Amino acid sequence: MKIFSESHKTVFVVDHCPYMAESCRQHVEFDMLVKNRTQGIIPLAPISKSLWTCSVESSMEYCRIMYDIFPFKKLVNFIVSDSGAHVLNSWTQEDQNLQELMAALAAVGPPNPRADPECCSILHGLVAAVEALCKITEYQHEARTMLMENAERVGNRGRIICITNAKSDSHVRMLEDCVQETIHEHNKLAANSDHLMQIQKCELVLIHTYPVGEDSLVSDRPKKEEEQHANTSANYDVELLHHKEAHVDFLKSGDNHVGGNSREGTFKETVTLKWCTPRTNSVELHYCTGAYRISPVDVNSRPSSCLTNFLLNGRSVLLEQPRKSGSKVISHMLSSHGGEIFLHVLSSSRSILEDPPSISEGCGGRVTDYRITDFGEFMRENRLTPFLEPRYKIDGSLEIPLERAKDQLEKHTRYWPMIISQTTIFNMQAVVPLASVIVKEAMTDEDVLNCQKTIYNLVDMERKNDPLPISTVGTRGKGPKRDEQYRIMWNELETLVRAHINNSDKHQRVLECLMACRSKPPEEEERKKRGRKREDKEDKSEKLGKDYESDKPWQESERLKGLLDREKEELAEAEVIKDSPDSPEPPNKKPLITMDEIPTVEKAKGPMSLLSLWSNRINTANSRKHQEFIGRLNSVNNKAELYQHLKEENGMETTENGKAGRQ
């Protein structure tokens, strides 16, 4: 069905009854000589608009914006209601302009405040609005002519905007019931007519107008900007209305950092674009992806007038869009064509008119690890061939070759990473049997068996702790641990299988086998935990060994330095005591350890091994925990003589300095 939206037909019904001539009590500033008037001149009396004037201005502003942005297929029908309904224009394209409407409203004139209000009613206009919605527009007639026998498939929708002064809530409900009953009656008439169409949907918008309270006059206002800053320029904000696709296209191009105010949903109703002054201003140098008409919100303001005149003189304005990251991008351009101003959407990516980069160099020089070989195989598997014999689906309907080709392409691309570093299973030869058959629409029992064998082989690889082709691009160190690598692999394999789970019941069997293998028994989990602890312990010991190896030479040098200092001090004390005439003989002391006696043979030979360092550290620590052996303390040159008491009994002297003698 060709459906015309509610905005295709819009009927304005403006109340022309006597109470619409009442003042809105909002004064209009028209005496521009208030500040420069000399004394003695009486100021002009203030004036205010009527409710009728406010209603006409608002409706005309609506039409102006709609005609600027949507010059075609958005039609307006204007009706004035008092003692009867006065239709000011028709649905034809020739009547869709502000000049025709303003001339017709001028002919109607303002409402007469002395007229009988009992003779006036807004209901006349609402009934005429329903009649207008049943009439066929030129675009609907063209659509009905193209469909011929199926002319009833053309939809008819519309909108009624009623501007009046409602008395109460019951009055509003009465107007709604009147419109609903009128639509029901006119649909019966349209069902038997070739020149009318039934109304399928109608939006009723009631705008209640009433005077507001008196406002206060603020005196001593600051001077105008021209008087304050005669030689300086100021920045202005100009609010523009346009079709929402002007920003939707930019979001589709890949930029999600649109700045603005979001009132409902994710769509930004107001987007801030800043004036940009580039070095070039040539329109031909910018690649545009769309152009949309614009309309200023305040068309009579000075900023809007300056911008409009600037653009109509053949100039162009580039607009930049700030991003959240702080960088800016030139996203739009304002330019006029044929006396109408358009907002152009500029492409922020590479132009399709330029030569594409070499795939070996990467897109923009950023990505270089594309799966080029796999993509060539993918193209060979999905080549189009002549469709010779007709095929039928399971339900008996004829299978369309183009639809079948699209369906196969969709199945093959449900999960297909484009970059080598983004996938693990497609870099493994062991997964090829499963990946090649899982994309089929229907699998055989042999295919299911091959998929199960592939899964079991992966389980065996994990049990053997075989390495996986995990990409380490952009990562520091050794990359993820072996358990993490297999977890990534299993997750990706599950994503691939789940993408095709709805193809058939046998695809479901493959997924069940995969999930059963992923749920490991407790002993397997315990083995994995022990393996992780062992790896952590090896890493920790390696780190400790490196730290100790780096600290050991410094510790050895400090220890030797301390021994030498103590030796020098003891020798000095011994010389002082021996030189004194009254000093007794010094007692026998334990022989001092010289540098040659220190067991640091490995140090002289070269760098010590990790085992020697560790053994020395353990021996030193253990020697502090027990009392030294008396024989080792009394030994000479690390030699202790045994059975000394036997020699004493036999009359032999004890060995002193390695020599024996008789008493």
Q: Are strands 85-87 and 260-261 parallel, antiparallel or unpaired?
A: unpaired
Which residues, 6+ apart, have CB-to-CB distance to 415 below 8 Å?
A: 495, 496, 499
The number of residues making up the chain comes to 663
* Distance separating alpha carbons of residues 305 and 287, to the nearest angstrom: 28
Alpha-carbon distances of 607 from 98, 310, 383, rounded to whole Å: 98, 83, 67
What phi-psi label fits residue 339: left (phi over 0), alpha (psi between -120 and 50 degrees) or beta?
A: left
* Distance separating alpha carbons of residues 428 and 418, to the nearest angstrom: 15
Residue 140 φ/ψ, nearest 5 degrees: -70, -40
Alpha-carbon distances of 535 from 64, 526, 529, 531, rounded to whole Å: 75, 14, 10, 6
Dihedral (Cα; 280, 282, 286, 288), 10-degree rounding: 140
Is there a contact between 76 and 302 (Cβ–Cβ < 8 Å)? no
Alpha-carbon distances of 71 from 87, 130, 249, rounded to whole Å: 21, 24, 21
Residue 628 φ/ψ, nearest 5 degrees: -65, 150
Which residues, 6+ apart, have CB-to-CB distance to 125 below 8 Å?
A: 13, 14, 15, 79, 80, 81, 85, 162
* Distance separating alpha carbons of residues 458 and 486, to the nearest angstrom: 9
Residues 299-321 as b/e (b if ≥16 CB within 10 A, e otherwise) read eeeeebeebbeebeeeeebbbbb
Is there a contact between 88 and 105 (Cβ–Cβ < 8 Å)? yes
* Distance separating alpha carbons of residues 97 and 104, to the nearest angstrom: 11
* Distance separating alpha carbons of residues 495 and 511, to the nearest angstrom: 10
* Distance separating alpha carbons of residues 152 and 22, to the nearest angstrom: 47
DSSP-assigned beta bridge partners for residue 164: 208
Cross-sheet strand order for the sheet of 340-346: 240-242, 288-296, 340-346, 328-337, 317-322, 274-276
Alpha carbons within 13 A on the beta-carbon side of 484 = 6
* Distance separating alpha carbons of residues 205 and 160, to the nearest angstrom: 6
* Distance separating alpha carbons of residues 205 and 80, to the nearest angstrom: 16
* Distance separating alpha carbons of residues 9 and 654, to the nearest angstrom: 132
**Residue 248's CB: how many other CB atoms inside 10 A?**
13
Return the H-helix or E-strand segment holding 24: strand 23-28
DSSP readout, 240-300?
Answer: EEE-THHHHHHHHTT-----EE--SSSS-SEE--EEE--S---GGGS-EEEEEEEEESSTT
**Measured CA angle at 56 (ends 55, 62), to 5 deg:** 95
Residues 88-114 as b/e (b if ≥16 CB within 10 A, e otherwise) read bbebeeebbeeeebeebbeebeebeee
* Distance separating alpha carbons of residues 625 and 627, to the nearest angstrom: 7
Q: Are strands 328-337 and 274-276 parallel, antiparallel or unpaired?
A: unpaired
* Distance separating alpha carbons of residues 83 and 587, to the nearest angstrom: 141
DSSP readout, 298-321?
Answer: STTSHHHHHHHHHHHTT--EEEEE
Which residues, 6+ apart, have CB-to-CB distance to 431 below 8 Å?
A: 425, 454, 458, 493
* Distance separating alpha carbons of residues 379 and 653, to the nearest angstrom: 104
Three-state secondary-structure class, residue 102: helix
DSSP percent split of the chain into helix, strand, coil, nearest 5: 45, 15, 40
Nearest residue to 143 via CA among 156, 154, 158, 157: 154
The helix-helix angle for 522-579 and 482-498 (nearest 10°) equals: 160
Tokens of 443: 């699998």
pLDDT computed for residue 347 by the predictor: 75
pLDDT computed for residue 332 by the predictor: 85
Which alpha helices (DSSP H) does 162-208 contain, by range? 169-191
Return the H-helix or E-strand segment holding 47: strand 47-50
Cα torsion 472, 476, 478, 484: sign: negative
**Residue 439's CB: how many other CB atoms inside 10 A?**
20
Residue 277 φ/ψ, nearest 5 degrees: -115, 85
* Distance separating alpha carbons of residues 562 and 604, to the nearest angstrom: 19
pLDDT computed for residue 273 by the predictor: 82
Is there a contact between 93 and 74 (Cβ–Cβ < 8 Å)? no
Return the H-helix or E-strand segment holding 632: helix 630-633
pLDDT averaged per 10 residues in sequence order, the chain, 663 residues: 78 93 81 61 78 93 91 92 92 91 92 87 94 92 76 82 91 93 92 88 92 49 43 72 76 49 49 71 65 87 87 85 65 86 78 54 58 88 81 74 86 88 87 89 90 91 84 59 85 90 89 84 58 59 52 54 61 48 46 44 60 86 77 77 75 48 43
Nearest residue to 137 via CA among 81, 189, 91, 168: 91
Which residues, 6+ apart, have CB-to-CB distance to 530 below 8 Å?
A: none
Dihedral (Cα; 304, 307, 310, 315), 10-degree rounding: -140
